[in-house]
Amino acid sequence: MRSETVRSVSPRAIGALAIALLVLSVGACGFQLRGADLRSSVARVHLESSARHSFTAPMRLALVQSGVEVLPERVPDALTLDLIDERRLRRSISVSEAAVAAEYEVRVAVRYAVRAGDGAVVQEPLWVERERVYRVDRDNILGSSEERTLLEDEMRDELIRQIIRTLDVLDGAARGTAQR
């Protein structure tokens, strides 16, 4: 007669295995956090904008963090990103029983164009925008103001990532055309 020993698996080991499988399956499907490691295929770009634009410094920083060399002047073999205009709008969309704004819609928009090194227009001037709604807490006005600022910063960062992805596509198309 043969004796068999049955090993029991600890709940801790099962939990660790479940977490490992979850991480593996999420990673395998291509999921990644928004904004995490936004690498760009664009090597160099010249950034033009008015100093008054609040998008200029964050755009420059995002480009550098994406591995893009930001050039001080236009050169023949690099795209030029022109930040033309920006808008920040806030409007009330609902009121409380006391007839004061209870919710606001916040909209952030930027108009930009992209040119080749020779000045040819690659992307016509285009508005891109984001909007969000937030509730006003009359008992915590400072908190509501901070929430608005946070939302505007998040929308600005989303627009910057969108513009960088567009630069990737336009640069790839320009290089593909040049190689033909």
- Is-contact 42 165, C-beta < 8 A? no
As a whole number, the mean pLDDT across the chain is 82
Q: Which domains does the chain carry?
A: 39-179 (3.30.160.150)
- Is-contact 113 121, C-beta < 8 A? yes
pLDDT digits (tens, 9 = 90+) for 39-88: 888 899 999 997 678 899 999 999 999 999 999 999 999 999 999 999 99
Residue 115 burial by Cβ neighbours in a 10 Å radius (0-12, 13-18, 19+): middle
Beta pairing, strands 79-95 & 101-115: antiparallel
Compute, in degrees rounded to 10, the torsion defined by CA atoms 56, 44, 36, 143: 0
* Sign of the alpha-carbon dihedral angle for 7, 10, 16, 20: positive
